[in-house]
Structure 1
């Protein structure tokens, strides 16, 4: 059965840059109904120019509410869940929603740390890029090759991209996605053939063929 996504009382289409540029009524409503632990982080989102999300968003199937999210940006399918709402994450992931885990920025279970030094707008753009890429992506997998850990992406136009994952240089969000969400496969495949580096397409096809052979694809 198709899920209807029910809007909250706050319009998420408003683009914000500074709190004093926000529609006062919508901003007031958002601050009143948001989970207390997320009030400061919402203010920092606004200061960073991130669109105002829907607050207390409900996912409805028929007449039943089957999932909730504290924040939801509907068009890019991005949401934030409180600790109590984490039970909904698998269902939402199946429906191509990106779960923005703010707990990655804090040691507290349900109080994301509003880090003023963090460039929230940059993180937001990374998430949007991830969601846009997902539309064009056919396959994405991390593989352990002989020379290190690599990420393989095959797109719907049949192009292939393979790059090494440097854990230290990756931004926090990207590192979290690569190492926790994507399952890693260990393959005895080298980047080189007769001392010459393989072309990306050749390497990618070898990885895909090996994964199919192992029934991992």
Structure 2
């Protein structure tokens, strides 16, 4: 049991995000991706509402995603530079695998919306952790496509939002460690009447 605990903690301590534009093949195959998605769904979910959806964008539909992004730019930012249009195509076609996470809250339910949105965030973290556990790297990307009404409509029902685009693959170069918070600044002990 101790070795299992140690290896789990080591796994969690070494998870890092990768830059999708630097990801290379191989990515997770169909069975591995199913495993990642099943683990992602094992998340706290007060009320058992499943207030989220995961949409896989297969490799043979990435060009269609690129066209969708260009169509959105044509409407939402018609004067954008060619570089932004090129970046949209790169966004759609980078990394071997892509999952779009949709926040799909059950509106009007007794479970508060905030709790349902937090559950979607927990799915995101499980997805990244499972990806890492299988030896791949993941990157959770938002940016303008996440907030575009045209892109949202292609993935979401009314009342739903895109929580992020999750690109999965193998790192094309060693991952860099990012600065981590000073624990003394983000952890405190509550002592009663003040905020700690």
TM-score category, normalised to shorter length = under 0.3
Per the normalisation by structure 2, the TM-score is: 0.27
Question: Larger relative CO (CA 8 A, sep 6+): 1 or 2?
Answer: 2
Per the normalisation by structure 1, the TM-score is: 0.25
Richer in helix (by share): 2
Structure with max Cα Rg? 1
